[in-house]
Amino acid sequence: MKNNRFVASVLVPGFLFLFLFSVFPVIYGLGISLYDYNPANTHNVFLGLEHYRRLITDETFWKSVKNTVFFCVAAVGANIVITLFLAKIISVIPSKGIKTFFRTILFIPCIAPMVGTSMVWKYGIVGTDGGLLNQIRALFGMAPKNWFLTTMPLMLIIIVYTLWADIGYNVVLFTAGIEGVPKEFDEAAAIDGAGPIRTFLYIKLPLMGRTFAFVSIMTMANYFQMFAQFRIFAPQGGMNDSALVLTNYVYRTSFESFNMGYASAIAMGLFLLVFVIALIQNKMMRADWSYE
């Protein structure tokens, strides 16, 4: 009986916290999406599924879905490849102090405010007047370019910025995963004559399935919700909405057009997209949680 009370005293606050800050906002957002909602109005008209019918024919919504999926696939794929490569290099460094130094250097951008670093990149690197990219172009005799009036180059710049700002976190996770694989497997591979590359690809990487699955799922879910850099680099979605993602579209619809009911419907579309992809990833990446 005492054990049951202890378990309840530990779990109940956690469940309440989860409900208040995760489940309830989703339910509330779903409810708002059924109304012509404006918090300034005393009465909000019930529209039922009208907003969701509008989503089906909304070309801007589907373009933002396409941009969001492209950004996530490209950025997450590049993130995993780069962080695995860096983690492998760090893991073979013999000195613990040097390992800690490199992990710290790579992790610093992760703790810096994304709005602040986005502003630095926008005006210091991408800016038309005096930006680093245009200074490099000037060295080769090319005229300055307004990168904010481009389509694919602007999206690629945002992806590069995101990688710079976020790879440190996954480097730490992958380094821990690599170092967590028992040394006996390396010794067995060396006896069989396997080189370091084959050992990593065919032995260590499969044994890191649990770390790989966690990093992939969490990074994908996080990147689908990226907002700050898109709001800074392309507040109106870029040229021909080429950099408009779902989070920015939700913001524009809600706080610029003041159509919060429709913005909630867009947000529910984003939630459903992330939920479905997370389920697919979870089934595809079911990891063996043992080394036996």
Q: What CATH class does 55-284 carry?
A: mainly alpha
Residue ranges per structural domain of the chain:
55-284
Alpha helices, DSSP H only, in 92-150?
96-111, 114-120, 132-139
Asked if residue 227 has pLDDT above 90, the reply is: yes
> DSSP letters of 178-238?
HHHS-HHHHHHHHHTT--HHHHIIIIIHHHTHHHHHHHHHHHHHHHHT--HHHHHH-TT-S
Instruction: Work out the burial of residue 137: count CB atoms within 10 Å of its CB; fewer than 13 is exposed, 13-18 middle, 19 or more buried.
Output: middle
Sign of the torsion formed by the C-alpha atoms of 155, 160, 164 and 168: positive
pLDDT band at 9 (very low <50, low <70, confident <90, very high): confident
Q: How many CB atoms lie within 10 A of CB 283?
A: 8
* Better-predicted residue by pLDDT, 164 or 202: 164
- pLDDT tier, 291 (very low <50, low <70, confident <90, very high otherwise): very low
User: Between 115 and 209, where is the model more confident?
Assistant: 115
Position 223, amino acid: Y
Predicted pLDDT at 230: 95
Tens-digit pLDDT profile for residues 149-179: 999 999 999 999 999 999 999 999 999 888 8
Mean pLDDT across the stretch 179-203?
Answer: 73
C-alpha pair distances (Å), 79 with each of 32, 68, 122, 217, 238: 36, 16, 21, 12, 23
Does 19 or 229 have the greater pLDDT score?
229
Residue 226 has pLDDT above 60, yes or no: yes
Each residue of 241-253: pLDDT tens digit? 999 999 999 999 9
Question: Whose CA is closest to 205, among 99, 101, 288, 100?
Answer: 288
For position 282, what pLDDT does the model report? 74
Q: Tokens 């990074």 sit at which residue?
A: 219
| pLDDT value at residue 1 | 56
Give the C-alpha separation, 232 to 162, whole Å: 12
Mean pLDDT of 269-283: 85
Quick: pLDDT tens for 81-105: 999 999 989 988 888 888 889 888 9
Give the pLDDT mean for 234-260. 91
pLDDT at 292 over 60: no
